[in-house]
Amino acid sequence: MGYLFMVVMVATTLPTPLYAIYSGRLGLAPWMVTVVYAVYAVGVLGTLQVLGRVSDHVGRRPVLLAAVAFSAASAVVFVATEGLGGLFAGRLVSGVSAGLVTGAATAYIAELEAPLGARSKAGVMATVANMGGLGLGPLLAGVLADHVGHPLDVPYIAGALLLVPVVLVFVWRVPETVRDRDGFRAGIGLQRIGVPAEIRTRFLAAAIAGLASFALLGFTTALAGQVLSEGLGNHSHQTAGVVAFLLFAAAAAAQVAAGRFPPRTASLIGLALMTGGTAVIVAAVAAASLPLLITGALVGGVGVGLAFRAGLSTVTAIAPEARRGEVISTFFIAAYIGLTIPVVAAGILVTTTTLLDATIALALFIAALSAASATIITRTRPTP
């Protein structure tokens, strides 16, 4: 199950180091690249909102097989067309696959482990599979794009081939864990969005941190190639993939380590590191320095991992049991807004001004959000 979760997420970030190629062939402005990137978030959010509970009603296996099918379909779309419409369609279908796999796979891993009676490691496995897959996608695509022919085809074919062992093993070997199933229709419907008044202040601090975290992830993955080629004079797709991989790898490692800290402490450290990481990225663009860019990605990635996991842990802890799903959904909506509006705004700035100006604007935006979240955290009582 960990492998299934990981390879579906790998497919969602395969285009990251390839956007520079698409831009050159299709004449795409940086702002259009960010719009293509943001379509993925629309697919994820729409799926989570409408089908987020469906695996509770039809079982985990059908939903996860559907996620694999959508992942394979996105590869077919990307290979079949290199036009702008194909990019939009491929990213949207990829978002649907991620939306289907995220909740169902996380729950499935926990349910498969429960009968073993061991100390729970399901959360760690789900975190590593999720963030690890997101990081491995750009690395795989970047290496293949630089060293194998047909850079806009081979990475997607490789991603699809990684799905084959999932089907062969999953269909015959992994048991269903949902016993009481009442059908597909019972699982469809918009999830409620809202936050109880008594927790809104603490929720706001967590949601702001989540939005800032995803804004940094989105900017780096959407414009990594632009930063390297225009800012540093480095046109290597492999390098773009490595930078994105290091960002996600640092975030995954930090999320695993975040459990050792109280959420309040992890949040404050993470917010500070995100601010510091974006400042280093600004310095990297100004100085055209690859080592500085890698350092900024690592520092920012650790900050993202700490701040995001701490925010989610806080929201889960303070939400009333009867409204926990609603509150968590609202948190994820706030986070995914960070993959859309700020990232597209950064793309527009890159197009209309300069890359350095856009990077400075992003750094100021993240610094302002981090300061706001930290201020709220320090002025409220710690969550028990």
pLDDT of residue 171: 62
Q: What is the pLDDT of residue 272?
A: 97
Q: Is 1-191's fold the same as 193-384's?
A: yes
Looking at the domain covering 193-384, what would its CATH class be?
Answer: mainly alpha
Q: How high is the mean pLDDT of the chain?
A: 88
Which sequence spans correspond to the domains of the chain?
A: 1-191, 193-384
Tens digits of residue pLDDT in 43-101 = 998 998 888 778 878 888 888 999 999 999 999 999 998 799 999 999 999 999 999 99
Q: What pLDDT sits at residue 207? A: 95
Q: Are 14 and 137 in contact (CB under 8 A)?
A: yes
**How many CB atoms are closer than 10 A to CB 154?**
16
- The torsion angles phi and psi of 261, rounded to 5 degrees, stand at -115, 150
- What percentage of residues in the chain have a pLDDT greater than 90? 58
Asked if 304 and 216 count as a contact pair (C-beta separation under 8 A), the reply is yes
Rounded CA separation 269/238 (Å): 31
Q: How many other CB atoms are found less than 10 A from the CB of residue 297?
A: 27
> How far is the C-alpha of 219 from the C-alpha of 296, rounded, in Å?
13
CB 95 within 8 A of CB 32: no
Choice among 53-57, 100-104, 126-130 with the minimum mean pLDDT: 53-57
DSSP code for 74: H
Residue 277: pLDDT above 90? yes
Question: How many CB atoms within 10 Å of residue 15?
Answer: 28
The lowest-confidence range among 4-18, 108-122, 253-267 is: 108-122
Quick check: 381 pLDDT over 80? no
**1-191 belongs to which CATH class?**
mainly alpha
Average pLDDT over residues 190-215: 90
pLDDT for res 281: 95
pLDDT at 324: 77
**Does residue 120 surpass a pLDDT of 80?**
no
CA distance 18 to 142: 7
10 Å CB burial of residue 198 (0-12, 13-18, 19+) is: exposed
For 205-258, the pLDDT digits (tens) are 999 999 999 999 999 888 888 888 888 888 899 999 999 999 999 999 998 888
More confidently predicted of 149 and 202: 202
Residue 12 has pLDDT above 90, yes or no: yes
Query: Do 270 and 324 meet the contact criterion of CB atoms below 8 Å apart?
Result: no
Q: What pTM does this model have?
A: 0.88
Q: Does residue 22 surpass a pLDDT of 90?
A: yes
Residue range 309-356, pLDDT digits in tens: 899 888 888 888 777 767 888 888 899 899 899 999 999 999 999 999
* CB contact at 8 A, 312 and 331: yes
